[in-house]
Amino acid sequence: MIGVFDSGFGGLTILRAFLKSLPAVNYIYLGDNARTPYGNKSQAVIYEYTRQAVEYLFGMGCVLIILACNTASAKALRKIQQEWLPNHCADRRVLGVVIPLAEAGAAATRFGRVGVIGTRATIESRVYEQELIKIRKDLKVYGKACPLLVPLVEEGWVEKPETSMILKKYLRHLKDKKVDTLIPGCTHYPFLQDKIEKIMGKSCTVLNGPETVAEKLKNYLFRHREIDERLQRRGETTFFTTDDPERFRAFGSKFLGNSIKLVEKVFLG
């Protein structure tokens, strides 16, 4: 099984792309809704919460886990990969969403000017800048924290004029920098994809986060047969939350784009 973890609902947009790209694989989705958002927490707390989720998903039989959360990928992934995994589950893997998007951004840029939007924690970590520069040292990377976008999406305000005004204000900084490629560094942003593309204009390539990550996952499994061969393929998906299952089912169905029938509540930590 492949585990998909997020601090809340946003990772369901990644799972949605996985289900379209690799529909036969079994998935477990875990949302730590009781402790969301992660974006305003310390690195130590984010790491501990993420570690608890990883441990739980491995305990459920996952052989590969995707941290479908930019904050967890930025603040916890490296330590989990380098320190926790070798001592606990050396034959399993944990991947994030940052490197796939950074690779795609570096490949897409025409003039070497890349913009990144995300939560304050993701932008302040400068993780995208670091990964992009590893790939191409000549890149100019410009980050912009957009702390209001996640609550606006979760409140269902995507079509409100206020959301467009706020989005234009956030993106003005990147337009002024003349970025030709934009990385949406948050799993909530697919709901704003059309608006972001319109504001940035035709001269800027706006990556589709979920589609990019799903394509990179397919490539990873092709290159790592030892993981691919251990995956169960019955087309089953199971959902867990640390908060109210009924709220997750109702709200999560909007993010997944499909009805979620059953959600189980779990306790981490």
The tokens 């092709």 sit on which residue?
A: 222
Sheet holding 140-145, edge to edge: 140-145, 113-118, 181-185, 205-206
- Distance, in Å, from the CA atom of 249 to the CA atom of 52, rounded to the nearest integer, reads 22
Distance CA 57, CA 85 (A): 13
Nearest to 116 by CA among 130, 136, 135: 130
Task: Say which of 62, 69, 146, 204 is annotated catalytic.
Answer: 69
Cα distance between residue 158 and residue 98, in whole Å: 24
Among this protein's residues, is 69 annotated catalytic?
A: yes
Given 62, 89, 146, 186, the catalytic residue: 186
19 and 214 in contact (C-beta within 8 Å)? no
Look at phi and psi of residue 178 and say left if phi exceeds 0, alpha if psi is from -120 to 50, else beta.
Answer: left
Please confirm, yes or no, whether 146 is among the known catalytic residues. no
Helix (H) or strand (E) segment spanning residue 65:
strand 64-67
In a 3-state reduction of DSSP, which class is residue 238? strand
Give the 3-state DSSP-derived string for 114-172, with helices as H, strands as E and coil as C.
EEEEECHHHHHHCHHHHHHHHHCCCCEEEEEECCCHHHHHHCCCCCCHHHHHHHHHHHH
Give catalytic residue positions.
Answer: 69, 186
